[in-house]
Chains A and B, each alone.
Chain A
């Protein structure tokens, strides 16, 4: 079983890395967009799956990073300086998100992140000397080394793999366990002696750095920044990707990003009302596969695997219980749909 998993994973990675050799620029652009969306969705999933916090404003963090890069890029600054500016902006914005939400949870957290996302969107429109206002910032040039779409795709792919590795490390660490403890019972964590607000602040900053990475890549990909990047719909799409792929699973956001980007950029050329289609997919997942695509595949594997009938997770649990964890992170099912999602494009 494990050998099959490793084999499948290797095959998917091989296909992903050799894509620039066989694919035309447009499919490579789509794959780059999937990687970028997957990083943003992964940052949302880190909060949703581990801490149980649903952010409706993560596109705000990601767009702020994008504006940082774009602002520096249109002034012909060195790519490293562009990154430094983006890092600074991301840290400041994440810190604001974290400080304003660290004592909240549930619907209050959602509303504050929503408001903060809208604030970034509003600032992007009003601070026209920095952001170009409604017109946005045009003339952003990628660093020369990734000017070619194939090279840029490889950069996005590597960054996605780094983000996945970091997420995996975090969820396995005792910090990850602390975050799941906060998700299950904040009161209990306080009474055990955990500074819950501080843990949430750190989680939001980690998640924000990941969202910022996606924002930098998005600015370089489109070579353009506009307030729409911080719009509510971008934040909402990231949440949809997480739910469709599987909340709390490592590869769920990748699958979800594949599905959403696929519908938005590829199916939309055949189906005019693609948002409706996306809505239908979301409803089907919520009704019939609460654990998302990855969760559903895990359930299938668990049912087929001989001698493992005892530890079925309670329904609706997006599998991060101890015994489920190994399956979530390394199971073959988790990687197959990731491949499927990309191959569809």
Chain B
């Protein structure tokens, strides 16, 4: 006697009813199952608003995603650089850069003069070929792809020194940006019309960057800041999947800088951006993630706050000012 009856002994997985019929397991609850008395089973009960963890700690709700965590959509990256190297003669301008850009992410590349920022950009845009490494854009290997084909895939860039069609009007500059992605062929022999007749989308974009009503002006007559605005308007007109901004604030006044910062901040959050910038204050307001380059190598990659606090970044920048 004495020994208790065994309770809740798990049946062996191969246990069977007499006659070899398998035991019914994981039988789903029928949807019309009810408690005795016909009361329906409670389903999808909402959590009460004042529910708390033991000890009265409130439940964490709507926690902001840390900026350095890839967004959920980033199962694939819009841009991925793996071990990218570029040499000019004996100098290695970009020395083994690995970086990814997630969908909707804004990455800033900072670093002193000659750190390889613009070379990195030109490698991404396809104006230079890397000596080693691979570049993937929107899931395709574009390492050997020509710049104009990358642009057709949805890569759009602005230039450090405004690179516009100087002797053409603002409208013609916009037209060239708009018709870029379109199939050409015989349709390209149709006449283009006058300055007033730019597509409304182009007029909207011009207004968005603050150049409303300027479409008839020759580009050469625009101020430096206005040319930068036009640069961005044209880059947006190509309906980019990825936007590269090469020192958009270079040479701008404080007021123009602030306007440009707001312009970039107001771009759709779905548009991934890589931004090269010298001006750290501009970067820290805009970027989700910052990469600091020094002598072609990434020194630090992290959130703006991490990068700002990092001693190596300070050393890189201070080092520059001592040698300057």
Docked CA distance A311–B220 (Å): 12
Interface flag for A148 (CB, 8 Å): no
- Inter-chain contacts of B216 with A (CB < 8 A): 322-323
Q: How far is the CA of A327 from the CA of B200 in the complex (A)?
A: 27
Distance in angstroms between the alpha carbons of A311 and B167 in the assembled complex: 12
* 20 A-B contacts (beta carbon < 8 Å): A169-B189, A172-B192, A173-B190, A173-B191, A174-B192, A175-B184, A177-B192, A178-B188, A184-B165, A184-B166, A184-B168, A185-B164, A185-B165, A187-B127, A191-B125, A193-B149, A321-B169, A321-B218, A322-B168, A322-B216
Residues of B in contact with A (beta carbons under 8 Å apart): 125-127, 146-149, 151-152, 156-157, 159, 163-169, 171-172, 175-177, 179-181, 184, 187-192, 194-195, 216, 218, 220, 234, 238
Given the complex, which residues of A lie within 8 Å of B156, measured CB to CB?
Answer: 191-192
Is residue A190 within 8 Å, beta carbon to beta carbon, of the partner chain?
A: yes
With a CB–CB cut-off of 8 A, which chain B residues contact A180?
Answer: 165, 167-168, 172
Q: Which range holds the interface residue count of chain A?
A: 20 to 34
Q: Is the C-beta of A170 less than 8 angstroms from some C-beta in chain B?
A: yes
How far is the CB of A165 from the nearest CB of chain B, in Å? 13
Contact A192 B234 (CB under 8 A): yes
Cβ–Cβ < 8 Å partners of A177 in chain B = 168, 172, 175-176, 179, 192
Name the B residues within 8 Å of A188 (CB-CB): 159, 163-165
Q: Across the two chains, which residue of chain B brings its CB closest to A169?
A: B189
Is the pair B191, A172 in contact by a Cβ cutoff of 8 Å?
yes
- B151 adjacent to A170 (CB under 8 Å): no
Which residues on A are within 8 Å of B, measured CB to CB?
169-170, 172-178, 180-181, 184-185, 187-196, 311, 313-314, 317, 320-323
A323 to chain B, nearest CB (A): 7
Chain A residue contacts of B177, Cβ below 8 A? 192
Contacts of A323 in B (CB 8 A): 169, 195, 216
Q: In the complex, A132 Cα to B243 Cα: how many Å?
A: 60
Min CB distance A190 to B, Å, is: 4
Contact between B125 and A322 (Cβ–Cβ < 8 Å)? no
Task: Chain B residues near A311: list those with CB within 8 A.
Answer: 218
Chain B neighbourhood of A187, CB < 8 A:
127, 159, 163
List chain A residues, Cβ under 8 A from B125. Answer: 191
Question: Given the complex, which residues of B lie within 8 Å of A317, measured CB to CB?
Answer: 167
Choose among A173, A193, A322 the residue that contacts B188 (Cβ–Cβ < 8 A): A173
Known contacts A192-B177, A321-B167, A322-B172: A174-B190 contact under CB 8 Å: yes
A304 to B125, CA, bound (A): 48
Bound together, the chains give a CA A189 to CA B157 distance in angstroms of 11
Complex: chain A residue closest to B181, CB-CB: A193
Nearest CB on B from A310, distance (A): 10
Contacts of A189 in B (CB 8 A): 148, 176
Write out the residue numbers on chain B whose beta carbons fall within 8 Å of the beta carbon of A170: 189
Task: Check if A322 sits within 8 Å of B151, measured CB to CB.
Answer: no
Task: Contacts A184-B168, A322-B171 given; indicate if A190 touches B151 (C-beta within 8 A).
Answer: yes
Instruction: Give the residues in chain B near A192, CB-CB below 8 Å.
Output: 148, 151, 156, 176-177, 180, 234, 238
